Structures are given as structure tokens and as C-alpha cells.
Amino acid sequence: MGETIIFLNIDDVAHIFTSGIPSDDVIGTEFNSGTVSPGDAFTWIPQNVGEFSYFDMTHPWMQGLIVVEPTVETTSPTIITLDSIPSSIPLDYGPFLIRGSLTDSNGIPISGKPVWMQANSDDGSGQGGDAITDSNGYFIGNWDVYVYFESDADYDFSSSTSRYITVEPTVTTVPITISTNKSTYEDGDFLLVSGTATPNEELEIILFDYTENVVTREFITVDSSGSYSTSLETFDSTYMVFGEYGVLAASHTDDRYNVVYFEFIDTTPVVTIVSTNITLNNVVNDNYNSPFFVTGTLTTIDGIALSGKPVWLQVENTNGEYISVETVTDSDGYFESVMYFSSGDQGNWCVNAGFDGDNIFLPSSTDLYSRVCFTITGPIVSITPTLITLDSIPSSIPLDYGPFMVTGKLTTTDGTPLSGKSIWMQANSDDGSGQGGDAITDSNGYFEILETGMCMYILRVMLIMIFHPVHLDTLQ
């Protein structure tokens, strides 16, 4: 009786030490500790001899019994306090001292008394002494450290408040390096990320765009040699925008990280659509007997010649008849087409030219104002006046006169003989019947026609001439 009883909470949850048992109508008549946090303690000095039951109000199934015996010797209460110790140390921190003081309840130091240090880890192991080390001189984990005095004939037992120390493993880290397989990427390229870091550590690899939106995230483990590599993404413009991207490699152990930047570029050729201009030159020739040359040039709107481009030509007359041809420009943008017409094609014609364009150059064509029109005519024929003279023939002959010769001469009006010309003789009677014959003039323009069986006839002799040797024959 009279000694101090210490309720030390070495658990990781709070407890309330209360005298009595849970089924009692009245509890806590001897003591009630209130809430005792982990690492703290509650003290009670019994004033009566006897057996005192107690339990934990927060965990009623936790119960105990204190037996208080009569006082044999009188001892003084003691108090142990600890100096400051670190709350976290590395694994290779080495031995360190636990310092503190032992005093009585009035704060008077008590010298020459043995004290004991106890350290309990979170895995249940414990050790004591003047240093916290394992068999190798190292320790790791969360440790509950306190110092207590076991009492003697003069002084009561006392214990310090627990202190917690987290012992962290010593890890030698290396800087994180990062690189990519290319500095610029195109559609379909794959992104390979590689580098070095602390062996066996976990890294988070993040691909982000220029707005810092995360595109892909991956967790990898560095191999035992300190290297890592991962194929992170294949670039696809259907859901990824062109521009600057970056890859971040960050450690899960500490705040080490590194970043590399690169470009996702659009390699689609930029096509500039250029306006064009097509012009026609005047048609050379207007005579159907000779070829017609249709020419012109195709250029850009600013006058640059376009070579190797197809150009169509359409020639149409006023009757809606047309001829279509196609040609190709040369290195100067010049094009040419030769057309042939017949005598039946005489009349007014117009030519239009056009370029249908391609993936670079816009189409262009002539219009009502830029087309070229022309007229096709026949050859110019000069008609020379002629004169036929007949030699003397009888004005009257008997019915049975028989055949007689009609002769004469063909000349120009100026008397020049015309040889090789066809002469036709026509004899018509007064009853409407008639007959005739023909002859060819000789080199002197002379002709002879033998006529038979005429009654009353009017004799007419004509020169037969071809008015147009190709298309149209006309008698003169």
C-alpha cells in the first residue's frame, strides 16, 4: 500500500483503466485513468489493502486484478524523463545515446540508481541497453523507446514516457536519366523510353502533351542493373494533336524525376492550290484546203508557264457542230493542234480551250470573250470570159441531107485559143424534141461535131467548165 502503480499504454490504441468490473453498478471508485493515449501512462497509489479488479472501458473484455498488500517499507516516488531523441533515423545511423534524468516526485535528482532502456519494434521484437541495434548494429522499423527504474528499498518504480523512432532503410539512390528513341515523331512512329535509375526501384512514366494533359501513364520497375526501357505509345493523329510532347520519369521512393521533350510533327505535304490562265492565239489560215493551226499558252495566274499539262480544244460552228481534240503543253506552256476542214465545213467557227486542273493547279478555260473565232471559205477562183464562134453552116437542108459537120473555135474574149475544153452542141426542134453531141477543143481551140437526122433545129453550142474542182461543179 502507498506504492505507485503505473498503467503504461504500450499499445497503438487508447485505453481507459477503470476500477471495478463491467457488470458493477458503480465503477471507478478506486481509480479511473481517463483516456490514456499510446505511449502515455496513468499512475495510481492505492490507499487501501485488498484486491482491486479493473478493466478497460473502451475494451471491456480487457480485465485485470491488482493485489495491494500492507506497506512494509516506505519508498519515495520517482520520475524518469528523457531528453530529446530523433523521431526518424536512417538504417546506418549507428549507435546513439538515450539520455534522461531520474528524480523524486519533488524533482530532486536521484544518483547512483540503475535504469533500464527498453525498445520494442512494431513487429513485436524488443531489446534494451545503451544503444538500439540489431545483431549487425542496425535496426529498421517503428520503435517504442522508454526508460524505467525498477525501484529499490528507498524509491518506487518509475518509467519515462514512450518515444517513437522510425528507422528507415539506407538506400543509395542515383539520379534518374531518361531518353527517347527519336527527337521528332510522325504518324505511326512508336515511342521508346529508356534510361537509368536506382536498381529495382519503381518508376512512374508519364507521356503528356503541350497542355500537360496526360496521354499515357505506366508503372515500371528498374532492373537490377539500374536500367529501364518501355515502349510507351504509338503516335496516332486521329486522337493525338501535333505539337510538343514530354515524358516524365518519377521515382516512387523520393522526389527524384527527369523529363525529356520532343515533337510530334505533321508530314502531310502542304498543297498550295494555284490559279491558272489559258489564252488562245488567233487561228492562222481560213481556207479549208490548208491545215488550221490552233495555238495558245497555259500559265499560272502570275505568268509562270505550266508544262506537261493536258489541254482540250473544242471547235464549234453556228450549227452546233463541233470538233474536240486534246493536246499537251510544252516546257514553255505552249500548246498547238492542227485541224483539217473540208469544203462542207465552210462557215463561222469558234475555238474554246480549257485545262481541267489537278491537285495543285485550278482549272481554267476560255469564255465568250476570250475564245477565238474564224470563218472558213473556199479557194478564190478567177473566172475568165470565153467566146465560141461557129463556122458557116447551111440555114436549110433537105430531110435526106444526111450527116453534116458542125465546126467552130473556143477562145477567150481577147482571142486566146482554149485547148482541151469540153464543147457541147445542142439542137432543138420547134416541136420540143432535141439532140446533141460533144467534142474537145484542140490546141488551136478548134472543135468538130458530127450531127445527123435533124429537122427544124436551133443549134446551140456551149462550153462545159468545172466551176469548183473539189466540191461544187458549175456550168459556165
pLDDT on residue 395: 73
Domain 5-68 class, CATH top level: mainly beta
Length of the chain: 476
Looking at the domain that runs over 179-264, which CATH code has it been given? 2.60.40.1930
Contact of 352 with 279, CB cutoff 8 Å: no
Pick the CATH number of 276-376 from 2.60.300.12, 1.10.10.10, 2.60.40.10, 1.10.8.640: 2.60.40.10
Cβ neighbour number for residue 291 with a 10 Å cutoff: 12
Question: Given this chain, do its domains 78-168 and 386-464 carry the same CATH topology?
Answer: yes
DSSP string across 284-351: B--BTTS-EEEEEEEEETTS-B--S-EEEEEEEETTS-EEEEEEE--TTSEEEEEE---GGG-EEEEE
Pairing of strands 179-180, 190-196: antiparallel
> Which CATH number applies to 386-464: 1.10.287, 1.20.120, 2.30.31, 2.60.40?
2.60.40
pLDDT tens, position by position, 453-471: 544 444 444 444 333 232 2
State pLDDT tens for residues 227-277. Answer: 999 998 999 989 999 999 999 999 988 899 999 999 999 988 777 889 999
Cα of first residue to Cα of last residue in the chain, in angstroms, is: 171
0.85 surpassed by pTM: no
Query: Under a CB-based contact definition with an 8 Å cutoff, are residues 363 and 273 in contact?
Result: no
- pLDDT, residue 263, reads 95
Nearest to 152 by CA among 127, 204, 116: 116
Phi/psi for 345 (5° steps) reads -95, 10
User: 82 - beta bridge partners?
Assistant: 100
| CATH number listed for the domain at residues 78-168 | 2.60.40.10
Domain boundaries in the chain?
Answer: 5-68, 78-168, 179-264, 276-376, 386-464
pLDDT at 463: 45
Determine the pLDDT at residue 306. 95
Q: Cα–Cα distance between 263 and 194 in angstroms, integer?
A: 17
Instruction: Using DSSP, state whether 76 is helix, strand or coil.
Output: strand
What's residue 475's pLDDT?
Answer: 28
Predicted local distance difference test score (pLDDT) of residue 467: 30
Query: Cα-flanking dihedrals φ and ψ of residue 400, to 5°?
Result: -95, 25
Question: Which stretches of the chain drop beneath a pLDDT of 50?
Answer: 129-140, 454-476
Tell me what pLDDT residue 19 has.
93
